[in-house]
Amino acid sequence: MTDRRETHRGPRRMSKSSAPAKRTTRTPPDWSEGERIAKYLARAGIASRREVEAMIERGEVQVNGKKLKTPAFKVTGREEIRVNGNRVRAPEAVRVWRYHKPSGLITSTSDPEGRRTIFDELSKALPRTVTIGRLDLNTEGLILLTNDGGLARAMELPKTGLPRLYRARAHGKITQIDLDRLQDGITLDDGTRFGAITATLERETGTNNWIILELAEGKNREVRKALEYLGLQVNRLIRTQYGPFELGDLRPGAVEEIPGNLLRNSLSDKIPEQFLPAEREPQRRQNKPPVRSRVHRPKR
């Protein structure tokens, strides 16, 4: 991208006796502060990054009155951006919600087989959100939702090291010594490699066992496959924690927003600054009751 420069229609002639005019220069935009247009529009809730890139190819995106020709373009938020003629509002502040996913729902925006998804069940009062990680059809428990795709990707990365905790009910015979085999990681017959998993035998109930597991990768069906590797058959699986955020007593189907200051304080040592909510300036103490996060209750 080239910076905009002022131009003149023709050379300006000056007499020898006249003093040179003082030239004024316009400070070019500091693009280091900007972000890619696709990311900006995704944060603004227009569409996913890939969908935005397709919109740009179709000529549907304008910046300051000019049709954008390439997604390799940065914006600072001070521009006038339009999509199909409609002006785009600035993205909202970064927000995250806890959601108790019931068993039997797909963690995606749509399903080719027509099965119900979590987005079919979520309150329409919520803004456009994406999930941080996934849970399979029959797994229940904590899913984090966010309106910022960058934060979602940062939290999902294995190198970020956010632990995922599960409680599994599994059929079969097992000992703690058997479970300890998962600590060094395992390789399945198909070559799939799982990293270290900490598994603790909580209790036995007849032919079933309740097992607590902690892992940091969260690969597809990782807990189920790891326990099957040990000869167990999982018949119930609940995610109880993702990073520092716990399921707690949140009812199945309910959604509760995590306050921005708590989100920032909980993730500041793991997540880059640009993905976190802006730090709020301290406010004067007032004699007002504390504000509680709004809980969206499940449909009945």
**pLDDT (average), residues 201-210:** 95
Domain 163-242 fold:
Alpha-Beta Plaits (3.30.70)
CA-nearest of 98, 101, 99 to 140 is 101
Q: What is the pLDDT of residue 25?
A: 43
Residue type, 145: L
CB 97, CB 255: distance < 8 Å: yes
Higher pLDDT, 153 or 234: 234
188 pLDDT more than 80: yes
User: Do 167 and 234 touch, CB atoms closer than 8 A?
Assistant: no
Structure confidence by residue, pLDDT tens digits, 239-252 = 999 999 999 999 99
What is the mean predicted confidence (pLDDT) over 203-217?
94
DSSP conformation class of 250: P
> In the chain, what percentage of residues exceed pLDDT 90?
59
d(CA 255, CA 152): 17
> Pairing between strand 233-242 and 139-146?
parallel
Average pLDDT for the chain: 83
Tokens standing for 150?
């960058």
Q: Is the pLDDT of residue 292 over 80?
A: no
Report how far residue 57's alpha carbon sits from residue 53's, in angstroms, rounded to the nearest whole number.
6
**What is the pLDDT at residue 273?**
83
How many Å apart are CA 84 and CA 243, to the nearest integer? 39
Looking at residue 298, what is its pLDDT?
A: 59
- Which token pair is 162? 């956010």
Pairing mode, strands 198-205 and 208-215: antiparallel
Q: What is the average per-residue pLDDT within 87-102?
A: 90
Query: Is pLDDT of 278 > 80?
Result: no
* pLDDT for res 225: 96
Question: So which residues are the catalytic ones?
Answer: 136
> Whole-angstrom Cα distance, residue 163 to residue 246?
11
And the tokens for 76?
């600072």
At 231, is the pLDDT very low, low, confident or very high (cuts 50, 70, 90)?
very high
Q: CA–CA separation, 247 vs 91, rounded Å?
A: 28
Least confident of 18-22, 158-162, 267-271: 18-22
Rounded CA separation 81/37 (Å)? 9
pLDDT value of residue 275:
84
* Residue spans per domain, the chain: 31-87, 92-161+247-276, 163-242
d(CA 118, CA 134) in angstroms, rounded, equals: 11
Class in CATH terms, 92-161+247-276: alpha beta
Residue 287 pLDDT > 90: no
Segment (H or E) for 242: strand 233-242
Which tokens hold the place of 125?
């009062």
Label residue 91 by pLDDT band (50, 70, 90). confident
State the greatest distance between any 2 C-alpha atoms of the chain, in Å, as a whole number: 105
Do residues 87 and 80 touch, judged by C-beta distance below 8 A? yes
As a CATH number, domain 31-87 is 3.10.290.10
pLDDT tens per residue, range 6-32: 333 344 444 444 444 444 444 444 444
- Could you report the per-residue pLDDT of 40-72, keeping only the tens digit for each? 887 777 887 889 999 999 999 999 999 999 999
Domains 92-161+247-276 and 163-242 share a fold: yes
What does the pLDDT look like over 104-142, one tens digit per residue? 999 988 888 889 999 999 988 898 899 999 999 999 999
